[in-house]
A and B are shown apart, each in its own frame.
Chain A
């Protein structure tokens, strides 16, 4: 593996109750996060293809870890998202190189489908920085019940020469979603939007 991983973390959140109303079945989401060395830290590197390759490896590893943490087969996942935080000696473009060119294909392979764009966010920050991973339905971006976000944070990452890369997957939408819009049973799943 090209990526030099210092640490991997997974988080599984299960919401059982909101404002006294049971959430049945519980809304569950998982995030898998890798803390890796940034091979381009501390200097300007024109060609970021090394980071793109790392993104491809991490897409597969993190998607597998996230669905394993939920204990579901990949195709049962409903929504997804990705995010990266670059340590202070790196550029925001390093996050883009990991997330955008190659990370999505292996994620979609693990999840069976994934017609929709994978929503993403990125930032540069110090250790303990909070990543809000945006979430959207994997086959139809307009499914309103699945617009969501998941916060992840690792107190000792990213160090200055590291990048923290996260993939989040859910088996459900928001708990008690009730603001209308396209619902998941209406998905056509052709254009990734509806």
Chain B
């Protein structure tokens, strides 16, 4: 499989103090790491693409580590995560699916074995396309306070023969979470769901 060629990276960090209600004692922080890579399968139908997931693993790990460091450096402070991809116009949606394994497992590894499935989304789009990356609790998908999303994108990516890969992590619940449901404090953390 071809070498992963990175054109550009973006790290975005948001620190949310309030949203019209009382200011949080500890502001919610969300971070996204983006990498724009060349799509080695752009322009034609390639049947066998699975091997490229292996090639993406080092990049996934690098991005996951950069997120932890952008959020202060302590993996234990990370409570939510998500991932996504935007495939440029000369590629297919299936190329974005190559990110599920290397992106997801990289975050789990860096966070010390998170239990919940990493929520994800993907699409095909042109430069400037925005992606709402879904976010859920790292150990229990049903934690309602941690259902969130972070919008990401880059004005000049993805070009037709590129893929924009995204990982997202957060340090907690929505800033004024108050709609009930399973709480982070009630997580059993066995099945990844509750």
Contact in complex: A16, B16 (CB < 8 Å): no
- Chain A residues with CB under 8 Å of B16's CB are 6-7
Are A17's CB and B6's CB within 8 A? yes
B18 at interface, CB cutoff 8 A: yes
B9 and A16 contact, CB distance less than 8 A = yes
Which of A9, A14, A151 is close to B14, meaning CB atoms less than 8 Å apart? Answer: A9
Interface positions, chain A 151-169, Cβ under 8 Å from B, are: 151, 153-155
Tell me whether A13 and B8 are in contact in the complex, defined as CB-CB below 8 angstroms, given that A6-B16, A7-B14, A7-B15 are known contacts: yes
Do A10 and B13 have beta carbons less than 8 Å apart?
yes
Q: Say which residue of A11, A15, A154 sits within 8 Å of B8 (CB atoms).
A: A15
Question: What's the Cα separation between A130 and B154 when bound, in Å?
Answer: 11
Contact indicator B9/A11 (Cβ below 8 Å): no
Enumerate B53-73 residues with CB–CB distance to A below 8 Å. Answer: none
Tell me whether B155 and A15 are in contact (CB under 8 A). Answer: no
Q: Say whether chain A's binding surface is mostly helix, strand, loop, or mixed.
A: strand
Residue of B7, B12, B20 near A11 (CB, 8 A) is B12
Whether A9 and B15, one on each chain, are in contact in the complex, defined by CB atoms closer than 8 angstroms, is yes
A72 within 8 A of B: no
Let me know if A155 and B151 touch, CB within 8 A: yes
Chain B's interface size range is: 20 to 34
Output the least CB separation between A189 and chain B (Å): 30
Beta-carbon contacts of A6-30 to B below 8 Å, as 1s and 0s?
1111111111111000000000000
> Given the interface contacts A17-B5, A151-B155, does A12 sit within 8 Å of B18 by beta carbon?
no
Q: Is B49 located at the chain interface by the 8 A CB criterion?
A: no
Q: Is the CB of A8 within 8 A of B14?
A: yes
B residues less than 8 Å from A12 (CB atoms): 9-12
Which residues of the partner chain B approach A8 to less than 8 Å between Cβ atoms? 14-15, 17
Residue among A5, A13, A151 with the most chain B CB within 10 A? A13
Question: Which residues, 130 to 184 on B, are CB-close (under 8 Å) to A?
Answer: 130, 151, 153-155
**Chain B positions near chain A (C-beta within 8 angstroms):** 5-20, 130, 151, 153-155
With A7-B16, A10-B13, A155-B151 given, name 8 new contacts (CB 8 A): A7-B17, A9-B14, A11-B12, A12-B12, A13-B8, A69-B11, A154-B14, A155-B130
